[in-house]
Each structure stands twice: as C-alpha cells, then as structure tokens.
Amino acid sequence: MRQLDPLELITWRRGLQENPQYLDVRERWEFALCRLEDSINIPLGELAERYDEIDGERPVVCICHHGIRSLHAASFLEHEGFVEVVNLAGGIDAWARLADPAVPRY
C-alpha cells in the first residue's frame, strides 16, 4: 500500500475524481481529542468486525496517532480486497505539525 506524508496526501487527493474516505483507527478517546474533518472512527480492534461500513470501491486513507496502527489497518483492508488504500505516514501528529497546526496534538 502507499504511504504518504501529510503534504503528499494533500497533493494526491487533489488528483482524485472523488474525495477519499478517511478511516481513523485510533481509540474513541483519541478521536474525541482531534481528527480530520469527515473522518470515520473504527478503532483498530473493531476493524475486522466493522470493515463493511467502508466503501471498498472508493479510496481509503487510514489514520492513527503516528502511523503504525493505520499501517496495520491499511494492510488488512488491502487483504480484504479494497481497491485503493493509503496510509497517512506519521499519523494525525504529523498532520498537525506539517499540514494543519490548528489540529491539537497530544
């Protein structure tokens, strides 16, 4: 799967025909602290039971705190046949540092 840092992600999504889905696999308490707009929260531990809530025909960007859990989620989704899966390298923390300093860090 592709791994994109925040600035690469911004460029990549500009070239898409439709907006990607943002799948945040952090725990609910983490998601409550900060998130990308329009992202959905399915904690990694629940993904195997809930991945049918994600449209497998649309691009999916997996997000977590630093990019490790989301890497596991992206690998799982690819294994399940999702067409285009991207991991946000560095996670929401890198996003806050490099793309949107208004996003709180923790």
Number of domains the chain is built from: 1
CATH number for the domain spanning 55: value is 3.40.250.10
Could you give the 3-state DSSP secondary structure of residue 3? strand
- Give pTM, 2 decimals: 0.95
Which range of residues forms the domain containing residue 16? 2-98
Token pair of 95 as six digits? 């996003």
19 belongs to a structural domain: yes
- Report the distance separating Cα 12 and Cα 3, nearest Å: 11
pLDDT at 16 over 90: no
Per the CB < 8 A criterion, the answer to whether 84 and 55 are in contact is: no
Q: Which of 42, 60, 64, 77 is catalytic?
A: 64
The encoded tokens of residue 23 equal 């799948």
Quick: pLDDT tens for 31-77: 999 999 999 999 999 999 999 999 998 999 999 999 999 999 999 99
Q: Quick check: 89 pLDDT over 90?
A: yes
What is the pLDDT, as a whole number, of residue 69? 98
Domain presence at residue 104 = no
Is-catalytic flag, 34?
A: no
